[in-house]
């Protein structure tokens, strides 16, 4: 039922059956956490006498509220006046335009906001005070007083629909879930090498050719040799569908920002119109992932094409921003292009990086002429930043710091905390992902304002965004699994006051919030009941500690048997062991997965270890001791707590025993995921104590995991072992990351 704008009052009638016992109101477990909330005694009863009042300007919010109540609780409507009311009131006193006050008393609910955004967020909070069970006949709402406003103005979620395409219905569901979390920006990644997803009427080949690829890579990019499914794949959104989605988002106070990639990630468009590239050669839409040499040529033909595209895009998206990408644009074709070199000379540019800046600045000027502003990934800083650009910093926080110090607005979305396509658990059964490791707690720990910025510079930080790249995310169900609950954690990061955030408290509220996700049949990843373990050394004694994020009981077993031992503290480790553990509730029911850890008590466990260079901060979860803690890393991925990653460095490792120790072999393994710029070294070298002899072992495997074992030295009694692991060197031409020095990833050093 919809509200007519001419009505001043609307009345909600709840047909309730009588019960002998009044249900308890829902305890407040609000996410994101409000600035302040005071729980009061009593409750507000929604019944047949409840009426809804709203001030002018809040008609749409009232409509949204009524639709939600009718659809969720199957509530009927009536015009009878009653003794209690819900009121949405105009209040100009709130300085934050998205802020609100919510008061639930025994005879009234009042929402105070100065515009529809604040009122909408108050409604979202109110919904979290309603029961999850939708069949209840008596609905009691806890009396409470809340004052709330967001910390950041930009609270975003991203979705890549170019690698894998998602229906209009799922995009709407995604927006609904964002609205629950008070997220206000949807970054819609619409164009890529693997597909063009937006209808442009002036260029029909974008729909006919660029929107479809001939086949898709099977498995992970690092799997060799590459295999494909042989099935044509694609799709695009018509302009009518886009308008429908934008309107749907607007009703939920969400602004949609389209991303039209330039100058890189443009292979699909060039496949449709080869004259847009530097070679003019016919190419195909990409069928695998990665970065491609085919980029837009900065010709007048290209600029005319992009301006025509922008002309149609700006008519579809009323928000002030257009995202132009600007990332991962190889310069090889520009270096070899006579036209590009001519432009560099004519414009007085230093190199191809400044040519990219010229490209971005020219497109920014045109977009500005349409009343819009651009956002670009932090690569747009290279060669000089366009005058009015906002920078989205994804390669860490350095781009944000540089841009903010220059007075540019920035949005934080670093891979370390905001890439929801990364693995979120060490569990070997996790669905295939691009790589990395981003557990829930790390998302929650994110601070969007880099510490390098002072108070004045920090004001240029608009907020943060979670990114969902879909190379390995094929279905709506899998999108939900990768996004939730990490997006829930991020919502609190960008909304709630920094001093109000506490992970333990958040986990408690999340347990309840998950029931709401269950009611909506969201396929979220529930790792709240996962067990984590750590090998510890104290006074020369080894023990293994277990922990979980909740306060529930952990039960475990050692070397077989049932999980019947209650965990009370660190478990002594005297020999190689296998520990299994799980979380149980008070009734004795297991919650979550069974954790399994094998501990190989080889001779280096507990020894002293030194490295000549520190692992990269993103791949140093376990620290240097992870190399000799008796625990091997994952067989499937390199971003867990055990693998250590080194960016382009030659590695020198020194292991010192407390006393001379007899050994016969040294073994380890290297990750060889070439698609992620990771290459196993060509050899390793070992030297004992101060001897002159150096023992070398070559590596020549092309497998994803490259084992190395050195045992050609016989039996040695040593106290110091020096292990040299030279970096692979520069990545060859034609490979991902060509010209850059490779990464080295090392697993456990097993010494027997």
What confidence tens digit (pLDDT) does each residue in 376-420 have? 999 888 777 777 889 999 999 999 999 999 999 999 999 999 999
Extended strands (E) in 631-749: 644-647, 651-663, 666-671, 683-688, 695-698, 705-710, 716-725, 743-746
CA distances in angstroms from 473 to 261, 553, 722, listed in the order given: 20, 34, 43
Task: Share the mean pLDDT of the chain.
Answer: 92
**Residue of 181, 343, 197 lying closest to 268 (CA atoms):** 197
Distance separating alpha carbons of residues 578 and 471, to the nearest angstrom: 35
pLDDT of residue 24: 77
| Mean pLDDT for the stretch of residues 74-103 | 78
Predicted pLDDT of residue 86: 87
Residue 136 has a pLDDT of 67
Q: Measure the CA–CA gap between 296 and 293, rounded to whole angstroms.
A: 10
Residue 85: is its pLDDT beyond 70? yes
pLDDT band at 2 (very low <50, low <70, confident <90, very high): very low
In 195-344, DSSP assigns E strands to: 195-196, 212-213, 217-218, 227-228, 233-234, 255-262, 321-325
Instruction: Give the per-residue pLDDT at 40.
Output: 95
- pTM for the model stands at 0.91
pLDDT digits (tens, 9 = 90+) for 106-120: 989 999 999 999 999
How many CA atoms are closer than 13 Å to the CA of 277, on its beta-carbon side? 24
| pLDDT, position 74 | 65
Checking if the pLDDT of 20 tops 70, the result is: no
- Name residue 547's beta-bridge partners: 532
Looking at residue 114, the DSSP 8-state letter turns out to be S
- HSE-CB of 340 using CA atoms within 13 angstroms: 25
User: Among 136-150, 235-249, 252-266, which stretch is predicted with the lowest mean pLDDT?
Assistant: 136-150
Which of the pair, 75 or 529, is modelled with greater confidence? 529
Across residues 323-350, what is the average pLDDT?
A: 95
For every residue of 563-591, DSSP letters joined together read: S-EEP-SPEE--S-EEEEEEEE-TTS-EE
Render pLDDT for 125-139 as a digit per residue (tens, 0 to 9): 999 999 888 776 678
- Rounded Cα gap, residues 328 and 377, in angstroms: 9
Question: CA 551, CA 540: separation in Å to the nearest integer?
Answer: 30
**Domains along the sequence of the chain with CATH:** 9-148 (3.30.379.10), 154-261+268-288+390-519 (3.20.20.80), 532-599 (2.60.40), 608-751 (2.60.120.1190)
Cα(125)–Cα(146) distance, integer angstroms: 9
Q: What SS3 class is residue 220?
A: coil
Q: How many C-beta atoms lie closer than 10 Å to residue 184's C-beta?
A: 26
Model confidence pLDDT, tens digit, residues 464-490: 999 999 999 999 999 999 999 999 999
722, pLDDT greater than 90: yes
In the predicted structure, residue 3 carries a pLDDT above the cut 50: no
pLDDT in tens, 496-554: 999 999 999 999 999 999 999 999 999 999 999 999 999 988 878 899 999 998 889 99
- What pLDDT is recorded for position 639? 81
Alpha-carbon gap, residue 495 to 515, rounded angstroms: 22
Judged by average pLDDT, the poorest of 43-47, 644-648, 652-656 is 43-47
Contact between residue 190 and residue 302 where contact means Cβ atoms under 8 Å apart: no
Task: Give the integer Cα–Cα distance in Å for 738 and 330.
Answer: 10
pLDDT tens per residue, range 271-314: 999 999 999 999 999 999 999 999 999 999 999 999 999 999 99
Q: Which helix (H) or strand (E) holds 271?
A: helix 267-272
Residue 268 has pLDDT above 90, yes or no: yes
Is a pLDDT exceeding 70 seen at residue 17? no
Phi-psi region of 6 (alpha: psi -120 to 50; beta: other; left: phi over 0): alpha
């Amino acid at each position: 039922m919809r509200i007519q704008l001419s009505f001043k009052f609307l009345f909600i009638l709840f047909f309730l059956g009588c019960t002998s016992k009044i249900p308890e109101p829902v305890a407040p477990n609000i996410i994101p956490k409000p600035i302040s909330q005071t729980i009061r005694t009593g409750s507000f009863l929604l019944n047949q006498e409840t009426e809804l009042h709203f001030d002018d300007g809040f008609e749409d919010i009232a409509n949204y509220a009524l639709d939600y109540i009718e659809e969720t609780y199957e509530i009927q409507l009536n015009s009878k006046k009653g003794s209690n009311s819900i009121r949405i009131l105009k209040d100009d006193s709130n300085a934050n335009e998205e802020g609100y006050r919510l008061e639930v008393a025994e005879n009234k609910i009042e929402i105070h906001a100065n515009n529809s955004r604040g009122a909408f967020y108050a409604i979202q909070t109110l919904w979290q005070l309603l029961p999850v069970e939708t069949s209840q006949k008596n609905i009691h709402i806890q009396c409470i007083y809340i004052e709330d406003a967001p910390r950041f103005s930009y609270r975003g979620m991203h979705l890549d629909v170019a690698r894998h395409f998602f229906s209009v219905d799922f995009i709407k569901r995604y927006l609904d879930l964002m609205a629950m979390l008070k997220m206000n920006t949807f970054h819609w990644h619409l164009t890529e090498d693997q597909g063009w997803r937006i209808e442009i009427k002036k260029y029909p080949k974008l729909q006919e050719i660029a929107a479809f690829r001939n086949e898709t890579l099977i498995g992970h990019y690092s799997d060799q040799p590459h295999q494909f499914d042989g099935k044509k794949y694609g799709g695009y959104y018509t302009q009518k569908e886009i308008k429908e989605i934008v309107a749907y988002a607007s009703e939920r106070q969400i602004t949609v920002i389209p991303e039209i990639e330039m100058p890189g990630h443009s292979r699909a468009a060039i496949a449709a119109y080869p004259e847009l590239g530097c070679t003019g050669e016919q190419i195909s839409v990409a069928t695998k992932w990665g970065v491609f040499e085919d980029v837009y040529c900065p010709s007048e033909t290209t600029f005319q094409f992009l301006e025509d595209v922008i002309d149609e895009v700006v008519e579809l998206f009323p928000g002030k921003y257009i995202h132009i990408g600007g990332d991962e644009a190889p310069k090889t074709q520009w270096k070899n292009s006579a036209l590009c070199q001519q432009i560099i000379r004519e414009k007085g540019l230093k190199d191809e990086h400044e040519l990219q800046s010229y490209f971005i600045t020219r497109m920014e000027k045109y977009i500005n002429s349409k009343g819009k502003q651009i956002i670009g990934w932090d690569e747009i800083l290279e060669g000089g930043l366009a005058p009015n650009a906002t920078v989205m910093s994804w390669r860490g926080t350095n781009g944000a710091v540089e841009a903010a110090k220059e007075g540019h607005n920035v949005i934080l979305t670093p891979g370390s905390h905001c890439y929801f396509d990364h693995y979120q658990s060490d569990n070997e059964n996790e669905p295939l992902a691009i790589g990395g490791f981003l557990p829930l707690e790390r998302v929650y720990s994110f601070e969007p304002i880099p510490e390098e910025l002072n108070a004045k510079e920090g004001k240029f930080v608009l907020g943060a965004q979670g990114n969902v790249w879909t190379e390995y995310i094929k279905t709506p169900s899998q999108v939900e699994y990768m996004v939730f609950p990490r997006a829930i954690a991020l919502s609190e990061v960008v909304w709630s006051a920094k001093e109000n955030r506490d992970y333990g408290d958040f986990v408690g509220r999340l347990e309840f919030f998950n029931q709401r996700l269950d009611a909506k049949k969201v396929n979220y990843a529930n790792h709240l009941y996962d067990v984590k373990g750590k090998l510890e050394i104290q006074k020369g004694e080894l023990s293994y500690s277990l922990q979980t994020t909740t306060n529930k009981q952990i039960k475990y077993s050692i070397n077989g048997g049932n999980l019947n031992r209650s965990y009370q503290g660190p478990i002594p480790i005297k020999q190689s062991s296998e520990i299994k553990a799980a979380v149980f509730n008070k009734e004795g029911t297991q919650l979550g997965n069974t954790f399994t850890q094998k501990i190989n008590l080889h001779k280096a466990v507990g020894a002293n270890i030194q490295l000549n260079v520190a692992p990269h901060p993103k791949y140093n979860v376990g620290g240097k001791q992870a190399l000799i803690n008796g625990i091997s890393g994952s067989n499937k991925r390199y971003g867990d707590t055990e693998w250590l990653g080194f960016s382009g460095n030659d590695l020198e490792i020194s292991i010192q025993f407390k006393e001379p120790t007899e050994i016969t072999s040294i073994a380890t393994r290297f990750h060889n995921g070439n698609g992620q710029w990771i290459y196993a070294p060509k050899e390793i070298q070992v030297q004992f104590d101060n001897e002159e002899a150096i023992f070398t072992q070559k590596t020549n495997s092309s497998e994803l995991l490259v084992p190395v074992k050195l045992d050609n030295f016989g039996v040695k009694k040593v106290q110091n072992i020096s292990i040299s692991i030279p970096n692979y060197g520069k990545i060859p031409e034609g490979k991902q990351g060509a010209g850059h020095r490779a990464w080295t990833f090392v697993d456990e050093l097993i010494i027997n």
